[in-house]
Amino acid sequence: MEIDPQLVKQLREKTNAGFMDCKRALVESGGELETAEAILRMKGIASAGKKASRAAKEGIVASYIHLQGKVGVLVEVNCETDFVARNENFREFVKDITLHIAAAHPLYVSRADVPGNLIEAEREIYKAQLKGKPENVMNKIVEGKLDKFFSTVCLLEQAFIKNPDQTIEDLVRSKIAELGENIVIRRFTRYLVGEPVPAEA
């Protein structure tokens, strides 16, 4: 079922829930905004979303080295208090994030971090592939392909390697609900021995 992006935006504004959570809830509710909001509340996502607006200035920087030193990951994950930053559950979650980044090779934390020129370039490629199709059909397919692209390059939208039925964003929200604090994956770097170093801007 195709969901109007404006509906997703409205639901996000009402609940602070993540993009994919809102989209799934709207699909499940047949596009009914209030029903979708109720679905999010039942899953505990809306309340986690409210916590997600709170400042997260504590946290840890964690590292992970894989394949006998061939792959390395550094990640900063923030929470609200030093108490949670020292919590074993939180640290285990951060470790899972470093393992996931090493294995899944995301390029950005979220779609908001993807450069606009890269998104436009992808869009143009998809349009060229679909040349000749009616514009309304083409636009729907292009948006679907862009969603697939984001789910490949954006950490939060990737399927969690330990549980492919759950995205990293789902995992973050479940930890927010569990620990009672906002949690933010702020940034990460992944190193692979021998890979080209990007030119300085």
Q: What is the residue extent of each domain of the chain?
A: 5-51, 58-111+154-192, 115-151
H-state helical runs in 105-195: 116-129, 135-153, 168-179
H/E element, 113: none
* Cα 194 off chain centre by: 28
Q: Residue 77 has what pLDDT?
A: 97
Distance CA 47, CA 81 (A): 19
Fold of 5-51: Helicase, Ruva Protein; domain 3 (1.10.8)
N-terminal to C-terminal alpha carbon distance within the chain: 42
Q: Which architecture, in CATH terms, is 58-111+154-192?
A: 2-Layer Sandwich (3.30)
Q: What is the CA radius of gyration of the chain?
A: 18
pLDDT at 134: 86
| pLDDT at residue 46 in the model | 56
What is d(CA 81, CA 78) in angstroms, rounded to the nearest whole number?
9
Residues 98/63, Cβ–Cβ less than 8 Å: yes
- Phi (first) and psi of residue 148, to 5 degrees: -65, -45
pLDDT value at position 103? 94
- 84 close to 179: Cβ distance less than 8 angstroms: yes
pTM: 0.71
Show pLDDT as tens, one digit a residue, over the chain (201 residues): 678 888 888 887 777 677 778 888 899 999 888 888 888 877 766 555 555 556 678 999 999 998 788 999 999 999 999 999 999 999 999 999 999 999 999 999 999 999 999 999 999 999 888 888 888 888 889 999 999 999 999 999 999 999 999 999 999 999 998 888 899 999 999 999 988 876 543
Q: Which H/E stretch holds residue 59? A: strand 58-66
Three-point CA angle 172, 173, 176, nearest 5°: 90
With beta carbons less than 8 A apart as the criterion, state whether 123 and 130 touch: no
Residue 36 φ/ψ, nearest 5 degrees? -60, -40
Handedness of CA 128, 130, 131, 136 (dihedral sign): negative
Q: Residue for token digits 């060229």? A: 128
DSSP type of residue 103: H
- Residue 97: the pLDDT is 98
Q: Which residue, among 29, 53, 55, 54, has the nearest Cα to 41 in the 3D structure? A: 29
The pLDDT value recorded for residue 201 is 39
